[in-house]
Structure 1
Amino acid sequence: MSRTDLPVTPVQHACGCGDADHGVPELDVRPIPHAIRHATVFGAMSAIPHGGSLVLVAPHDPKPLLAQLADREGPITVTYLDEGPEAWRLRVTRA
């Protein structure tokens, strides 16, 4: 069985709400006011476990944000999924 054939097992939230996570969460920051955009990404990324990923959708290449994120969260890997011009989609993984 290849890695892509493995079943996705939902992970229950520790909060006890009964909901489950499926796949990689996607955060589209384009509608978020610029003044709180970075803080929103920091908060979302802090909820991702080590080895987990978040797909980030941004209106431009977020290199300064990625540097700040690495400083705050430790090592990350970034895979560009789409490179503009209207939206940049990146998979950010906590190492």
Structure 2
Amino acid sequence: MVQQDVHLHTSEPAAGESHTCGCAHDSAADPVMDVRPIPHAIRHGAVLGAFAATPPGSSLVIIAPHNPLPLLAQLRERAPIEVGYLKEEPEEWHVRIRRLG
């Protein structure tokens, strides 16, 4: 098995946005998951697992090599979400996925 590092970092809220989930943690930034280095065969599973750990009202930003429409459909089957595109380039898409419920 090949081990690959997955880089998680945080993004700063966009202008005018604030952290509103009402939790007690002190970071207002969304976790960011760059899925491009994850092998394709397990990429969706990795994002689904990370999303499952995201509490309602919180967001996860993913960096994908394409528009992740099939993945977004899978996420919508699990919980209501709100999707925002932060960056759309041919090989780098930044997508904020907010868990509504």
TM-score range, shorter chain: 0.7 to 0.9
The aligned residue for residue 47 of structure 2 is 41
Determine the C-alpha separation between the residues in 1 that align with 2:18 and 2:66: 33
Determine the C-alpha separation between the residues in 1 that align with 2:18 and 2:43: 36
Superposed structure 1 runs of 4+ greater than 6 Å apart: none
Q: The residue matched to 1:60 in structure 2 has which SS? A: coil
The structure that has the greater radius of gyration is 1
Q: TM-score, normalised by structure 2?
A: 0.73
Asked if the contact 1:81/1:89 (under 8 Å) is kept, the reply is yes
**Matched residue count:** 82
Deviation larger for 20-29 or 85-94 = 20-29
Unaligned stretches of 5+ residues in structure 2:
1-15
Determine the C-alpha separation between the residues in 1 that align with 2:43 and 2:56: 22
Determine the C-alpha separation between the residues in 2 that align with 1:40 and 1:4: 27
Asked if the contact 2:82/2:97 (under 8 Å) is kept, the reply is yes
Displacement of 1:22: 5.3
Q: The residue matched to 1:50 in structure 2 has which SS? A: coil
Determine the C-alpha separation between the residues in 1 that align with 2:95 and 2:61: 5
Identity of aligned residues (%): 52
Of 80, 87, 90, 1:82 maps to: 87
Please give the root-mean-square deviation of Cα atoms over the aligned residues, in Å: 2.2
The aligned residue for residue 51 of structure 1 is 57
The aligned residue for residue 68 of structure 1 is 74
